[in-house]
Amino acid sequence: MSVPLYQAKAEFFKTLGHPARIRILELLSERDHAVHELLDRIDIEPSSLSQQLAVLRRTSLVTSARVGGEVVYSVSVPEVRDLLLAARRILSGIIAVQGELESELSPTATS
Amino acid sequence: MSVPLYQAKAEFFKTLGHPARIRILELLSERDHAVHELLDRIDIEPSSLSQQLAVLRRTSLVTSARVGGEVVYSVSVPEVRDLLLAARRILSGIIAVQGELESELSPTATS
DNA sequence: TTGTCAGTTGCACACTTTATCAAGTCTTGA
DNA sequence: TCAAGACTTGATAAAGTGTGCAACTGACAA
């Protein structure tokens, strides 16, 4: 492979490193959505949404299809859902630890 | 929580979005490493490595401890390994699909 | 045809990240 | 106490990203 794997991985994670893109993937992993439906659920300008969708398309994480007047997006890699779950688990762990540290410093420490 | 979860997730993925940081986490998920050991395995300036380690420290993904003359780093969240594996799986999937698309376009298409 | 809704694209500006160089801290051994 | 190895920090130029506006395309209904 021309691109080392760790670099491809970094690119991949970079793609996920934007709040709107995370939201999009979360919504799409529930079910397919037309762009205007995503627009209803995410607080973002249409042009900005379009750009973020383009980023996800470039990475082949989602695909789009024109259906009459609207464009419908779907996740093309179902495993993305697992990844988001794994991230949530790790994040909860980290947040929990940070909470402990904070309460150790506070006057109402619990242990 | 003050920060919405999807934003925290994006931050988290952003942290992983750098080749050196991926390499670091891969090496550390094998075993703890001193900085100069990482330096031997990753092609990067010491100061740059230090910066990337600082990023990982800020996110609480790794912890450091001074042991005599050296500073030893460890992953603080073992699940990171699962995450990297999940990413590799998704990535292989995507790369495989892209390979198929390419061979469809090439004169030696296999199907 | 024309207006309108649905999306996308092109840009310019602001902001963030990264790489590199120089300088500084800490620790150990001579 | 000094020198050297092991790291970190600060500063800064260069590169990369994100945002919002305006302009543009495609589909459909009046």
pLDDT confidence of A100, banded at 50, 70, 90?
A: confident
pLDDT tens-place values along chain B, 111 residues long: 457 889 999 999 999 999 999 999 999 999 999 999 999 999 999 999 999 999 999 999 999 999 999 999 999 999 999 999 999 999 988 888 777 766 765 554 443
Q: Enter the tokens of residue B27.
A: 């090496």
Distance in Å, residue A17 CA to nucleotide C3 C1': 40
Closest CA relative to residue B15, chosen from B75, B70, B69: B75
Q: Tell me the chain B residues in contact with residue A84 when contact means C-beta distances shorter than 8 Å.
A: 9
Task: Say if residue A97 is in the same domain as residue A55.
Answer: no
Minimum mean pLDDT range among A7-11, A93-97, B101-105: B101-105
Q: The domain that contains A20 carries what CATH number?
A: 1.10.10.10
Dist. CA A72–CA B9, nearest whole Å:
25
Q: For residue B99, what pLDDT is reported?
A: 72
Q: Which residues pair with A75 in a beta bridge?
A: A62
Domain extent, residue A28, equals 5-76
**Residue of A8 and B93 predicted with greater confidence:** A8
Position A33 pLDDT exceeds 70: yes
By C-alpha distance, the chain A residue nearest B97 is: A60
The pLDDT value recorded for residue B101 is 64
Instruction: Tell me how far CA of residue B27 lies from CA of A2, B39, B41, B94, in angstroms.
Output: 22, 11, 9, 24
- Residue B36 in contact with residue A49, Cβ under 8 Å? no
Instruction: Find the nucleotide nearest B70 (Cα to C1′).
Output: D6
The closest CB to that of B87, out of A13, A21, A89, belongs to A13
Mean of per-residue pLDDT scores for chain A = 89
Pair (B72, B85) in one structural domain: no
Q: What value does the mean pLDDT take over residues A19-23?
A: 97
**Beta-carbon separation of A10 and B19 below 8 A:** yes
Asked if residue B69 and residue B88 are part of one domain, the reply reads no
State mean pLDDT over A48-61: 97
- Same-domain pairing of A72 and A18: yes
Task: Tally the domains of chain A.
Answer: 2
Q: Are B26 and A10 a contacting pair at CB < 8 A?
A: no
Are residues B66 and B42 both part of a single domain?
A: yes
Are residues A56 and A12 part of one domain?
Answer: yes
CB contact under 8 A, A21 and B7: no
